[in-house]
Amino acid sequence: MTDNQTPNKQTKQVKAPKQAKQTVPPHKRFQNRQSSEGIHALLQEGEEILRVATIHPGIYWKTVAVGILALILIINIPTFNLGIFVAFVAFIMFCLATLYKHFLLLVLTNRRVFLRHGILRVDTIQIRHSRIESVETERTIMGQILGYASVVIMGTGSRNTAIPFIADALAFRNELDECLNTYEDTHATS
């Protein structure tokens, strides 16, 4: 073919069709949370995440208290190495609290509750709604001041599991109570 000849077929640029806006499934909405990254793989067909409990920053209150003590010791007793040692302990406490916060998880679905806690031994527990006897919240004095509580889920077979430092503990408990009531209503009539 020479420069003066034109090809028999003309090439057209075809635009790709616009893709419809896709809705994000409920279990994909929480993928940005590092602590719930594995939960979407555990969901059954038709199961939806209703609530992921928020871990309160109050998890660090002991670390802050020890850090303040270290600062006081460093300022008031500069020749003593005790302040530096206490600051090192505060740093270790901060690292442990951060790890604990990373592994701490409480997720409510329309069928089950997922719990995960621990650092060296990470326990992952799944409790079906039919196996939950009661749900309680426990608040310490610091929990009252800072606004967090522990959610205690009591399952059949005397399995009690407490998840501490939950910021929205009352809202989580209320939503779980609604799910349990709905479950009882639908299964009591069948």
pLDDT bucket at 20, cuts 50 / 70 / 90: very low
| CATH code for the domain of 90 | 2.30.29.30
**Structural domain contains residue 18:** no
In this prediction, residues 132-148 reach a mean pLDDT of: 92
Write out the two tokens for 185: 């209503």
Q: Is pLDDT at 19 greater than 70 in this prediction?
A: no
Give me the number of domains the chain comprises.
1
Q: 140 is in which domain, residue-wise?
A: 50-188
Q: Is the residue at 108 inside a domain?
A: yes
Is 121 inside a domain boundary?
A: yes
In a domain, 99, yes or no: yes
CB atoms within 10 A of CB 107: 25
Length of the chain measured in residues? 190
pLDDT for 4 equals: 52
Residue 25 lies in a domain: no
Q: Among candidates 181, 114, 119, 183, which has minimal Cα distance to 153?
A: 114
Residue 41: what pLDDT? 76
Q: pLDDT at position 158, please?
A: 65
The pLDDT of residue 101:
92
At 30 the pLDDT is 41
- Please check the confidence at residue 25 and state whether its pLDDT lies above 70: no
55 is a domain residue = yes
Residue 36 in domain? no
* Of 107, 93, 92, nearest in space to 55 by CA: 107
Q: Please compute Rg for the chain using Cα positions.
A: 26
- Please determine, for residue 7, whether its predicted confidence score (pLDDT) is greater than 90: no
Per-residue pLDDT of 27-84, as tens digits, reads 444 433 444 556 777 788 888 999 999 999 999 999 999 999 999 999 888 777 888 9
pLDDT digits (tens, 9 = 90+) for 89-135: 999 999 999 999 998 889 999 999 999 888 888 888 889 999 999 89
pLDDT at 145 over 80: yes
Closest CA to 53 of 146, 149, 142: 149
pLDDT at site 173: 92
Q: What ranges make up the beta strands (E) of the chain? A: 49-52, 105-109, 112-117, 123-128, 132-138, 149-155, 159-166
Q: Is residue 105 part of a domain?
A: yes
